[in-house]
């Protein structure tokens, strides 16, 4: 399975993004009462910023979902030709549909990511409201006491959501790997342009390995998007 190493590297990048975003959400949840009390006028900007982050996370989740939706019919330990033939037809339809989905997502990359210009504008407006009024001070609006921690959180925010090329890169890399997996599953069925019904169990094993890897990331990103939505709703009047 030649794509496994590439996927492992991509999954690590996604995992780092999830971890950093969760730290931001924790700071928001811990400091929302502080913000409401001392900086109530900043709530709308912070809510908009969280919405942009949610949009990007949902985009990444939609990409990781492409691989993980197919299920084969298993009958004991043997290959039953009739069952395998039905699975082969279903798999062919699935692969074609997922290729089309990957193509559509590729064309929508700029809509899937956050609006980086808007993120930067909101970040700068929030920093201008702090006493320090310097880069990295934004999270002091949430009661973060040390500038060092505020700067770390701001760096994570800026690196992930205000950097247009980094977010596009994450989406492109994930989509590229998705397409490679689909090709590998197709190749496991037979020579180019062919599909041997007896190779269905091999294709099932290949797809199953990748589905498990991608599903874990998808579920994590999906939960993260929900948590961002809840954090955002905390500032709705």
Q: State the pLDDT at residue 93.
A: 77
| DSSP line for 190-221 | SSTT---GGGHHHHHHHHHHHHHHHHHHHHHH
Q: State the pLDDT at residue 209.
A: 82
What's the mean pLDDT in 157-180? 85
User: Model confidence at 177, in pLDDT bands (50, 70, 90)?
Assistant: confident
Residues 6+ apart with CB under 8 A from 96: none
Q: How far apart are CA 59 and CA 105, in angstroms?
A: 9
Max avg pLDDT among 52-66, 102-116, 125-139, 201-215: 125-139
For residue 47, pLDDT beyond 70 = yes
- Six-digit token string for 22: 């969760």
**pTM summary value:** 0.81
C-alpha closest to that of 176 among 117, 228, 118, 102: 102
What's the mean pLDDT in 119-139? 93
Higher pLDDT, 200 or 41: 41
Q: How far apart are CA 200 and CA 189, in angstroms?
A: 6
Max avg pLDDT among 5-19, 32-46, 188-202, 204-218: 32-46
Q: How far apart are CA 92 and CA 196, in angstroms?
A: 12
Structure letter (DSSP) for residue 161? I
Tens of pLDDT along 130-163? 998 999 999 999 999 888 999 999 999 999 898 8
Q: State the pLDDT at residue 69.
A: 59
Q: What is the mean pLDDT of the chain?
A: 84
H-helix segments, the chain = 4-38, 43-64, 81-107, 109-112, 116-128, 147-157, 164-188, 200-233
For residue 236, pLDDT beyond 80 = no
For residue 26, pLDDT beyond 90 = yes
What are the phi and psi torsion angles at 236 (to 5°)?
A: -80, 130
> Are 134 and 8 within 8 A, CB to CB?
no
């Amino acid at each position: 399975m030649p794509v496994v190493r590439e996927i492992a590297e991509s999954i690590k990048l996604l995992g780092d993004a999830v971890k950093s975003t969760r730290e931001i959400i924790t700071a928001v949840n811990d400091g929302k009462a502080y913000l409401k009390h001392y900086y109530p006028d900043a709530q709308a900007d912070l809510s908009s910023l969280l919405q942009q982050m949610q949009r990007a996370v949902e985009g990444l989740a939609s990409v990781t979902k492409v691989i993980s939706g197919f299920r084969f019919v298993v009958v004991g330990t043997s290959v039953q030709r009739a069952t395998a033939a039905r699975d082969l037809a279903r798999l062919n339809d699935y692969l074609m549909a997922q290729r089309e989905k990957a193509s559509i997502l590729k064309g929508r990359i700029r809509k899937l990511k956050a609006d980086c210009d808007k993120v930067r504008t909101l970040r700068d407006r929030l920093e201008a409201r702090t006493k320090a009024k310097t880069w990295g001070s934004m999270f002091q609006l949430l009661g973060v006491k040390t500038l060092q921690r505020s700067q770390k959180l701001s760096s994570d925010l800026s690196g992930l959501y205000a950097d247009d090329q980094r977010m596009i890169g994450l989406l492109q890399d994930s989509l590229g790997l998705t397409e490679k997996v689909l090709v590998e599953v197709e190749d496991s069925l037979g020579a180019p342009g062919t599909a041997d019904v007896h190779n269905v169990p091999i294709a099932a094993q290949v797809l199953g390995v990748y589905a498990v890897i991608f599903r874990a990331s998808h579920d994590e990103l999906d939960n993260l998007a929900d948590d961002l939505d809840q954090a955002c709703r905390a500032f709705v009047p």
